[in-house]
């Protein structure tokens, strides 16, 4: 079994790559701008007894770039069974100050990138007769955030494309689901917040702590497994009770 994880050089993507490796997957590690970090993830995958390859690429650069990332993984491993669309950005900006360029950048990575990576992976799965699993990363920011109108739009959009892709790909046996992390201990919540502030926000959650990247990865591992064989088109909120839709 082969998994491709986008944005896997750090954070939730890294945890997903390692979790899937521990579950028996070889892993294609997509990275953007930190080869050393990506190499460290690859070394950890190999230490778990699985194969790893690095796939550099910017999924926000358009459909051709997304297809190239998927194709490189297939060239190295011969197939793709699992895609985790994890790559995403959240540049904070006040709505009244938001520019068209701000909007376009976030939509290009978070929504367009997810859609066209999924399309490329699904095309390969269909051609090979593989009944695979695709996971798209949404967010608890679907409920809105004052400094991320563009971000919230993309994460709500991820829910929409997940449901639609699940319907489109069900005849091929390909499952598509979304994972919506809450406040997680990564670099993201520290943009504009001190470590102490982030810890306090975690302590205020019903379960009393920040999430870890491994908490999110556990859901990805489950959705990639045979135990999730009858699950598609769903959105899983992994957030310590911080948002209960």
Catalytic residue among 140, 151, 152, 236: 151
Is 138 assigned a catalytic role? Answer: no
Active site residue 133: no
Mean pLDDT confidence for 155-172: 98
Catalytic, 151? Answer yes
pLDDT at 186: 87
Q: How many angstroms separate the first and last alpha carbons of the chain?
A: 33
43 neighbors 8 (Cβ within 8 angstroms): no
pLDDT value at position 189?
A: 79
112, 114, 140, 155: the catalytic one is 155
Per-residue pLDDT at 191 exceeds 80: no
230: phi then psi, degrees, rounded to nearest 5 = -115, 30
> At 10, is the pLDDT very low, low, confident or very high (cuts 50, 70, 90)?
very high
| pLDDT computed for residue 194 by the predictor | 86
**Is the pLDDT confidence value at 192 over 80?**
no
Catalytic residue among 114, 133, 138, 139: 139
pLDDT over 90 at 9, yes or no: yes
Ramachandran region, residue 233 (left: φ > 0; alpha: ψ -120 to 50; beta: rest): left
């Amino acid at each position: 079994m082969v998994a491709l994880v986008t944005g896997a050089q750090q954070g939730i993507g890294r945890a997903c790559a390692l979790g899937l490796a521990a579950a028996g997957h070889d892993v294609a590690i997509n990275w953007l701008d930190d080869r050393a970090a990506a190499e460290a993830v690859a070394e950890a995958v190999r230490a778990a007894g699985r194969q790893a390859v690095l796939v550099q690429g910017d999924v926000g650069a358009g459909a051709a770039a997304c297809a190239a990332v998927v194709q490189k993984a297939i060239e190295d491993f011969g197939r793709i069974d699992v895609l985790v669309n994890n790559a995403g950005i959240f540049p904070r900006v006040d709505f009244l100050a938001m520019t068209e360029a701000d909007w376009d950048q976030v939509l290009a990575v978070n929504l367009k990138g997810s859609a066209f990576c999924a399309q490329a992976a699904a095309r390969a799965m269909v051609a090979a007769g593989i009944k695979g699993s695709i996971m798209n990363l949404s967010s608890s920011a679907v409920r809105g955030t004052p400094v991320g109108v563009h971000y919230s739009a993309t994460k709500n959009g991820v829910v929409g494309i997940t449901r639609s892709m699940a319907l489109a790909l069900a005849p091929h046996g390909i499952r598509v689901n979304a994972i919506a992390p809450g406040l997680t201990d990564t670099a993201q919540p520290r943009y504009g917040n001190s470590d102490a502030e982030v810890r306090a926000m975690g302590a205020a959650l019903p379960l009393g702590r920040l999430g870890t990247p491994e908490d999110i990865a556990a859901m990805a591992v489950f959705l990639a497994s045979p135990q999730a064989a009858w699950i598609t088109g769903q959105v899983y909120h992994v957030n310590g009770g911080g948002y209960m839709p």
